[in-house]
């Protein structure tokens, strides 16, 4: 730890001696270190990407071809999904609780070029932010450039309304 600190000090002093600005120095630090202090919120790990025990209220497989997971809707990570007009991504799957109080689950991977799609409350549909393809809640293409529907998954809500199961 001390060595890392000492290394940073030496590097900072060296870079400053070159007359570089503070922002340029930060860029060097981000490139040369572990980047933990420089990452954005987009770098947060996906909840439970591979299966196994419960992580952030999610249990099961959220990626690949064998989608099968449950979401604890009382967990702080997922409780927003009890409010109509919300969407959240779990691994490869976008889950939305629509304005019609229905849970839907679709592949989050746009069939055009693979960007992550999102749920739009106002239109109650799915849209890709990259080239603005739009999809219905069943995954059907409503507007291109995408031409292939999003894969839809089955959803099932427990009788107490607290556990959502998503399966292929």
**Closest separation in Å from C-beta 133 to ligand FES:** 4
**Closest separation in Å from C-beta 141 to ligand FES:** 10
Of these, 10, 16, 131, 154, which contacts ligand FES (CB under 6 A)?
A: 131
Of these, 67, 94, 105, 112, which contacts ligand FES (CB under 6 A)?
A: 112
Phi (first) and psi of residue 12, to 5 degrees: -60, -45
Asked if 130 interacts with ligand FES (CB under 6 A), we say: yes
Give the dihedral of Cα atoms 151, 54, 70, 152; nearest 10 deg: 0
CB-facing half-sphere around the CA of 135: CA atoms within 13 A: 30
**Structure tokens of 65?**
């071809």
Asked if 142 interacts with ligand FES (CB under 6 A), we say: no
Of these, 146, 150, 164, 166, which contacts ligand FES (CB under 6 A)?
A: 146
- Cα–Cα distance for residue pair 40/20, rounded to 1 Å: 24
Of these, 133, 135, 165, 166, which contacts ligand FES (CB under 6 A)?
A: 133
Chain residues 51-110 in contact with ligand FES, contact rule CB under 6 A: 110
- On the 0-12 / 13-18 / 19+ scale of CB atoms within 10 A, 60 is buried
């Amino acid at each position: 730890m001390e060595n890392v600190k000492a290394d940073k000090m030496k590097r900072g002093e060296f870079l400053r001696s070159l007359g570089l600005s503070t922002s340029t120095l930060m860029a060097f630090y981000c490139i040369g270190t572990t980047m933990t202090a420089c990452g954005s919120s987009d770098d947060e790990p996906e909840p439970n990407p591979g299966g196994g025990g419960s992580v952030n209220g999610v249990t099961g497989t959220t990626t690949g071809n064998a989608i099968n997971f449950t979401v604890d809707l009382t967990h702080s990570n997922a409780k927003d999904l009890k409010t109509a007009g919300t969407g959240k991504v779990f691994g490869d799957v976008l889950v939305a609780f629509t304005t019609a109080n229905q849970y839907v689950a679709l592949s989050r991977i746009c069939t055009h070029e693979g960007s992550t799609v999102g749920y739009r409350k106002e239109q109650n549909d799915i849209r890709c932010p990259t080239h603005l393809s739009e999809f219905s809640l069943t995954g059907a293409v409503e507007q291109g450039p995408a031409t292939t529907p999003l894969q839809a998954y089955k959803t099932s809500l427990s009788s107490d309304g607290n556990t959502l199961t998503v399966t292929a």
